[in-house]
Chains A and B, each alone.
Chain A
């Protein structure tokens, strides 16, 4: 299982990287962490003619809070989140989620933004980005643009990124101090792709839910933000019965995908379970 031949370039700057992408377009592919891409290349399922290795582009290597955003540069590895990268609920949430991503050695190389660009329906970061309403910063031949998460993920392995675009940065909104989060994933083995997972973030004040974020991943061709159910949570007291109802509603709303690991009926059951448990965790 050896890859097909390709040419290899290693830009030193963001501008150079964008220029190379513009030049090679459909035949070029960005190499960041490589944990998904190289595996696909070993199987010869991916056969880019030119690999553009951005690991040398130092100005893409940043991770910092700025105003009300956490700015995650394209070279931020999953492992960066092993420690809390920011205080408060967002940092706690990211630290909780990262443990579910593949395994320790994969996390040393794989990148946050790479996950988003790859858009595996079972990607944890895609769920986080979708549910929290992340902002994607894209550099392309026509310049830079920002894409909201809701417009970014189009389907399985498909995003709003064109073949000449580089996802340079993802910004996550910082959650204020009254936010709490829950994340629940079910997979066959430790580190496997989720058969279903849910992310819930609740701002609870005065014993009532004031704001909510709720998303489900691994059950469709992309992560799903359950906005209508978020609205139903608002103004209510966080109680098991409420969560059970929301979970049942989530299940009713979603037509799950089928693959050799899970049938639609089973995934449906899982949707209810993961939503309920994520909400319970958030309220605990």
Chain B
């Protein structure tokens, strides 16, 4: 047990002031201190991607960052994707394309795709496959996941000005 640091995490636009040991990972802080349990832990060594969230605009493994590192950064988790009742295009697409079964890997895939597509809405098929190879799913065989992301990408492009007009 070490001295706790009082930090403020800005998650989904809201400030959470928490007191954590330095060794508390960002994943654990988001889940336990902020009460946002949509982000999941599947391996705690950065391989499975279930913990993927967006920090400073980039999808990252929250199990490989300490909460104290994320103070002052804009953090987004799956709970922040929907706008009230209205699902994010990715959430809608996963639902409509049966892109989830047990749902455990889903938040990680949603944030991975959201972050990457926000940075580059024009990912082609090969780039999408490469991106999605970042995370593991044990239920779906991935087929409907990429189908969902593809569908969402189309809708997100329609709402966003393309990088290359």
Do A5 and B60 have beta carbons less than 8 Å apart?
Answer: no
Is B80 an interface position by the 8 A CB rule? Answer: no
Interface residue tally for chain B (C-beta within 8 Å): 31
A7-B22, A105-B112 known; A191 vs B65 contact (CB < 8 Å): no
Q: In whole angstroms, what is the CA distance A51 to B65 when docked?
A: 12
Interface stretch, picked from A36-44, A173-181, A271-279, is A36-44
Do A109 and B60 have beta carbons less than 8 Å apart?
Answer: yes
**B103 CB to nearest A CB, Å:** 20
A1, A99, A105, A109: the one contacting B130 at CB < 8 Å is A99
- Which residue from chain A places its CB closest to the CB of B59 in the assembled complex? A105
Do A7 and B2 have beta carbons less than 8 Å apart?
Answer: yes
Do A190 and B60 have beta carbons less than 8 Å apart?
Answer: no
Do A190 and B59 have beta carbons less than 8 Å apart?
Answer: no
Is B61 an interface position by the 8 A CB rule? Answer: yes
Per the 8 Å Cβ criterion, residues 1-39 of A in contact with B are 1-8, 10, 31, 34-35, 38-39
Is A55 an interface position by the 8 A CB rule? Answer: yes
Do A8 and B46 have beta carbons less than 8 Å apart?
Answer: no
**Number of residue pairs across A and B with beta carbons under 8 Å?**
89
Q: In whole angstroms, what is the CA distance A31 to B69 when docked?
A: 10
Do A42 and B44 have beta carbons less than 8 Å apart?
Answer: yes
Q: Which residues of A contact B135 (CB under 8 A)?
A: 103
Do B45 and A42 have beta carbons less than 8 Å apart?
Answer: yes
Per the 8 Å Cβ criterion, residues 22-52 of B in contact with A are 22-23, 25, 28, 44-46, 49, 52
**B86 CB to nearest A CB, Å:** 26
A4-B23, A79-B58 known; A104 vs B65 contact (CB < 8 Å): no
**A33 CB to nearest B CB, Å:** 8
| Chain A 31-74 interface mask (CB, 8 Å, partner B; 1/0) | 10011001101110000000101010000000000000000000
B45, B58, B134: the one contacting A103 at CB < 8 Å is B134
**B140 CB to nearest A CB, Å:** 17
Do A191 and B133 have beta carbons less than 8 Å apart?
Answer: yes
Is B21 an interface position by the 8 A CB rule? Answer: yes
- Which residue from chain B places its CB closest to the CB of A103 in the assembled complex? B134
Is B63 an interface position by the 8 A CB rule? Answer: yes
Is A108 an interface position by the 8 A CB rule? Answer: yes
Is A106 an interface position by the 8 A CB rule? Answer: yes
Q: Which residues of B contact A8 (CB under 8 A)?
A: 5, 22, 66, 68
Do B133 and A55 have beta carbons less than 8 Å apart?
Answer: no
A1-B44, A5-B2 known; A105 vs B22 contact (CB < 8 Å): no
Is B151 an interface position by the 8 A CB rule? Answer: no
| Chain A 71-101 interface mask (CB, 8 Å, partner B; 1/0) | 0000000010000000000000000000100
A: residues with CB less than 8 A from B are 1-8, 10, 31, 34-35, 38-39, 41-43, 51, 53, 55, 79, 99, 103-106, 108-109, 189-191
In the complex, 10 of the A-B residue pairs with CB atoms within 8 angstroms, ordered by the A residue number, are: A1-B44, A3-B25, A5-B1, A34-B69, A41-B23, A51-B22, A51-B66, A53-B68, A106-B134, A109-B61
Known: A34-B64, A39-B45, A103-B133. 19 other contacts (CB 8 A): A1-B44, A1-B45, A3-B25, A8-B68, A34-B65, A34-B69, A35-B46, A38-B46, A38-B64, A39-B46, A43-B45, A51-B22, A51-B66, A55-B69, A79-B58, A104-B131, A105-B60, A105-B61, A191-B134
